[in-house]
Amino acid sequence: MASNQDGQHTILASWVGALATAVQREGHNWDELCRTEKVIDPRLSASGARLQHDIMRDIWTRASTLTNDPAISLRAAKCLKPHALHSLGYGMMAASSLDEVCRLVQRHFHVISTAAALDIEVGSKYYTLTSVCEPAVNDEGFEMFMAFIAGVFDLISNDEIKPVKVSLRRPVTSKAARDRYSYCFQADTEFEAPQNMIVFEKAQLMQPLPTANPEIRLISERMIAQYLEDFGSGEFRTIVRSRILSLLRNGRASEEAVAKGLNMSCSSLSRRLRLEGVTYRHMLNETQKSLALQHLQDVALPISEIGFRLGFEDLSSFSRSFRRWTGVSPREWRRRHCGPEAFAEEKTSTDKSEELDCVA
């Protein structure tokens, strides 16, 4: 398992291996795909091995260039099998319902990537999965996840499970590529959307599965816990950040909630973080800042909504924290980085009052 001394984000090597296989089938080997020296082909790595996310970003770019395929993420998803996701994959296959599959993946998304999380919203009719990612994550990565999870649903369910809608952040301009996405998901696919999102019929995801196996599910949870314990130095903080990402959308990113999600006490969580030279408060602020900078680039998103998404009780609290992180207000940061057109989207009086909050 790759050790990470500075807490950089990592991704499961077998996930990268699936992309490498897809690219190889197009006639290109690992040495062409990865230009970083001394990084071995992930398909030759031990189970549970990990790669740094900055390497993965370059690999996605290379994959698209080598294959000239803007939909290479769909090919990669077909090359990824559940058992490649370490113990998480076995737990998915033994779940009692597709809802439990999603909850399991949400709870342990850090096994796949420490820079991303999965948000679940269950309405009266629809069941929505949305990506919550650090800027380090390529949109193609979550596209790959959506195609993969849709395939898993079909694999373990008696019914034909097709999404109702798919939304992708990337601007895919090729009609042929767009048609491939629609064919893959068998659903309306929106491009240049605000978020990467896939929507299913709620009733289908709540049905019991014939492949359910509570014993294997319990074993998989224990294996995941052991995998977490075995992470090298610097990795634990990235897992904590992943849990924070997952919880922030609902404003529940308390130290107690994170500790519970990692099956440990608050004191154990604090002790593990101190060993890596950080505190929980530092991790929370770091993650909030990273997401704030990402969300502010979406000029259609009100600043007040950004603060709410990051767990702040009101706009004033968010504005004060943001000024402490960057030296400027959220509104000023958006103006400097997004241009005057950003203000055309800001029409709420709440956002306009943010300037006064910062000056006060």
SS (H, E, C) 71-95: CHHHHHHHCCCHHHHHHHHHHHHCC
Q: Tell me the pLDDT tens digit for each residue of 25-73.
A: 999 999 999 988 778 899 988 888 888 888 888 999 999 999 999 999 9
Q: How far apart are the first and last CA of the chain?
A: 50
Spatial separation of the C-alpha atoms in residues 36 and 22, rounded to whole Å: 19
pTM of the model: 0.73
Q: Flag residues of the chain having pLDDT under 50.
A: 1-6, 233-234, 347-360
The domain ranges of the chain are: 214-276, 297-359
The predicted structure's pLDDT at residue 351: 45
The predicted structure's pLDDT at residue 277: 79
In this structure, the strands spanning 126-133 and 50-52 are unpaired
Signed CA dihedral, 202, 208, 209, 214: sign only: positive
Q: Are 59 and 16 in contact (CB under 8 A)?
A: yes
Q: Are 262 and 228 in contact (CB under 8 A)?
A: yes
Spatial separation of the C-alpha atoms in residues 96 and 231, rounded to whole Å: 29
Q: Which residue has the tokens 């075995």?
A: 230
For 150, counting Cβ atoms within 10 Å of its Cβ (0-12 exposed, 13-18 middle, 19+ buried), the class is buried
Q: Kindly provide the residue ranges of all beta strands, DSSP E only, lying in the chain, ordered along the sequence.
A: 10-12, 50-52, 116-122, 126-133, 165-167, 188-190, 197-201
| Residue 180: CA count within 13 A, CB half-sphere | 15
The predicted structure's pLDDT at residue 90: 93
